[in-house]
Amino acid sequence: MVTTLPGADELAATARETAKRCGVDVDALGGGVTTTSPINGGPLSAVDRVDPGAVDTAVERARQAFLAWRTVPAPARGALVKRLGELLAAHKADLATLISLEVGKITSEALGEVQEMIDICDYAVGLSRQLYGRTISSERPGHRLMETWHPLGVVGVISAFNFPAAVWSWNTAIALVCGDPVVWKPSELAPLTALACAALLDRAAAEHGAPAYLSQVLVGGPEVGEALVDHPGVALVSATGSTRMGRAVGPRVAARFGRSLLELGGNNAAVVCPSANLGLATRGIVFSAAGTAGQRCTTMRRVIVHADVADALVERLTDAYARLPIGNPMAPGTLVGPLVNGRAHAAMRAALEAAVEQGGTLVAGGGRRLADQAPDAYYAEPALVRIGEQTPIVAQETFAPILYVMPYDTLEQAIALNNAVPQGLSSSIFTRDQAEAELFVSAEGSDCGIVNVNIGTSGAEIGGAFGGEKETGGGRESGSDAWRGYMRRATNTINYSGELPLAQGVEFTV
């Protein structure tokens, strides 16, 4: 596939016009830090960053917004999120363009990210009428027990570069219907995407007559994230990023008895059994391993394949990898765009070298493309490495498209290998044997937060709770009952008896 990469001026102009269409005041961006586009490695936009001192003001404003917003009935809060969803739908192509420009996602996946935002708004609107508590039988006559769920407070959101908009919406749509304002510290690599999202929400909030400062964005580096993490006025810190970041954030929030929701690194595997439909498995694996240029937290990084079908699977994968269209992510037909920056490429090269030193064989990909056209852009061929065992490099997350293929003999062995890494985000099994599938999803099976059958590890829907165990951080966001993390639960005992019987039969009469 021949690709001509667009020039820096063209991309910068597109970014500016697109951000403006979303409502960003592009003349007020300032001349601060210049971001680059992974598409050509050239400058994209200069945006001012705030310093950590801005967190105090933002949290105080959010606290004021909370005092008003928590008294608005939840279905009325849902009406604001409904309008946000409409605006996201109207600007779907614009937001996708900004995502592609800032982080290099192919158009289809960038549009998919925005669709996910629209979907979570729909979900949150329905949820706004379903924030149910339980009633519980009391052991005392004339008494009733119930749970009520109240708004929690200010939610701080810290997000990663690879889902520069969707992670914010997963948190914000749910937080808003739960009655909580949001202060967002987006990835420093994608400020325009963040400002565009914020502008759309500001517009929805103004139309809705919502309190000011329900949602604020603080463009800045990790030090701004740290200030948010340490601020006692932030009731919940929802942080998405590397395990390194989570290791810093978790203990700091815990030290002040705040609540944290951590969505950290993954090292996701597929088990391919002898009965698997290898055509389907190949498609599922290639999408999960090479899609988004290997830069999803749920990217498949390991395949654990039965020895009897290992050669046949590797042959199919090698063939598919050779045909992957790599290039300009905004050009029709491209399936693999660039890595986000040179650091990601250096990490990929180092991991491939380590894999070979540790006994692996590179069977496909691993090279660099388009360096002659754009020396500061990093287009990498997704790499396939066969390796006999799960060596240290296989057990770590390298945020790039490297897929390690390892053999197994018994399913118990395969499950043990799946679980023998520090991360616990996503996993899948390809099999037509129901007993094998059931074992994999059972308590003795995969230890991950996401356990799939006959699909890959990535591409989750918003309806389920999203997150993982161990070094992935244990948080759950998006669907199912993840909303409970954004509210506080009160247990109420109501006495309508006129007597005062004590629980557990305790006598205490004076």
* Distance of closest approach, residue 157 Cβ to ligand NAD, in angstroms: 9
All residues at 6 or more sequence positions from 170 whose CB lies less than 8 Å from its CB, including other chains:
116, 120, 462, 466, 477, 478
- For residue 255, give the DSSP letter: H
3-class secondary-structure state, position 219: coil
Q: Does 23 bind ligand NAD (CB under 6 A)?
A: no
- For residue 7, give the DSSP letter: P
- Residues annotated as catalytic (active site), given as ranges: 263
* Tokens linked to 240: 């998405």
Here the contacts of 340-347 (C-beta below 8 Å, separation 24 or greater) are 340/38, 340/103, 340/104, 340/161, 340/162, 340/189, 340/295, 340/378, 341/36, 341/38, 341/189, 341/378, 342/376, 342/378, 344/295, 344/378, 344/399, 344/400, 345/378, 345/380, 345/400, 347/398, 347/399, 347/400
Comparison of 205 and 336: residue with beta carbon closer to ligand NAD? 336
* Distance of closest approach, residue 225 Cβ to ligand NAD, in angstroms: 2
- Using CB positions, name the residue nearest to ligand NAD: 225
* Tokens linked to 420: 């023998």
**292 contacts 112 by C-beta, under 8 angstroms:** no
* Distance of closest approach, residue 297 Cβ to ligand NAD, in angstroms: 3
Longest dimension (CA), the chain: 90
Q: Alpha-carbon distance 404 to 86, whole Å? A: 42
* Distance of closest approach, residue 220 Cβ to ligand NAD, in angstroms: 8
Q: Does 163 bind ligand NAD (CB under 6 A)?
A: yes
Comparison of 160 and 331: residue with beta carbon closer to ligand NAD? 160
Range in contact with ligand NAD (rule: CB under 6 A) among 43-51, 96-104, 245-253, 313-321: 245-253
Comparison of 149 and 483: residue with beta carbon closer to ligand NAD? 483
Q: Alpha-carbon distance 420 to 79, whole Å? A: 45
> Listing from the earlier edge strand, what are the strands of the sheet with 135-136?
135-136, 143-151, 487-495
Picking from 241, 81, 251, the residue whose alpha carbon sits closest to that of residue 157 is 241
* Distance of closest approach, residue 312 Cβ to ligand NAD, in angstroms: 30
Query: Which of 12, 117, 219, 264 touches ligand NAD (CB under 6 A)?
Result: 264
Size of the site for ligand NAD (CB under 6 A): 29
Q: Does 248 bind ligand NAD (CB under 6 A)?
A: yes
Comparison of 273 and 336: residue with beta carbon closer to ligand NAD? 336
All residues at 6 or more sequence positions from 434 whose CB lies less than 8 Å from its CB, including other chains:
none
Picking from 401, 442, 446, the residue whose alpha carbon sits closest to that of residue 419 is 446
- For residue 330, give the DSSP letter: T
What x-and-dash track marks residues 317-336 binding ligand NAD by CB under 6 A?
--------------------
* Distance of closest approach, residue 299 Cβ to ligand NAD, in angstroms: 8
Query: Which of 263, 381, 436, 471 touches ligand NAD (CB under 6 A)?
Result: 263
Comparison of 188 and 436: residue with beta carbon closer to ligand NAD? 188
* Distance of closest approach, residue 223 Cβ to ligand NAD, in angstroms: 8
Q: Does 464 bind ligand NAD (CB under 6 A)?
A: no
Kindly identify the residues of this chain, within the stretch 221-240, that bind ligand NAD according to CB under 6 A: 221-222, 225-226, 229, 240
- The number of CA neighbours under 13 Å toward the Cβ of 209 is 2
Range in contact with ligand NAD (rule: CB under 6 A) among 118-126, 153-161, 286-294, 327-335: 153-161
Query: Which of 258, 265, 284, 407 touches ligand NAD (CB under 6 A)?
Result: 265
Kindly identify the residues of this chain, within the stretch 283-312, that bind ligand NAD according to CB under 6 A: 297
Comparison of 249 and 336: residue with beta carbon closer to ligand NAD? 249
Comparison of 194 and 309: residue with beta carbon closer to ligand NAD? 194
What are the residue ranges of helices labelled H in 267-341? 278-290, 307-322
What x-and-dash track marks residues 181-210 binding ligand NAD by CB under 6 A?
----x-xx----------------------
Kindly identify the residues of this chain, within the stretch 354-373, that bind ligand NAD according to CB under 6 A: none
* Distance of closest approach, residue 467 Cβ to ligand NAD, in angstroms: 6
- Which stretches of the chain bind ligand NAD, using CB under 6 A? 158-163, 185, 187-188, 221-222, 225-226, 229, 240-242, 245, 248-249, 263-266, 297, 397, 399, 425, 472
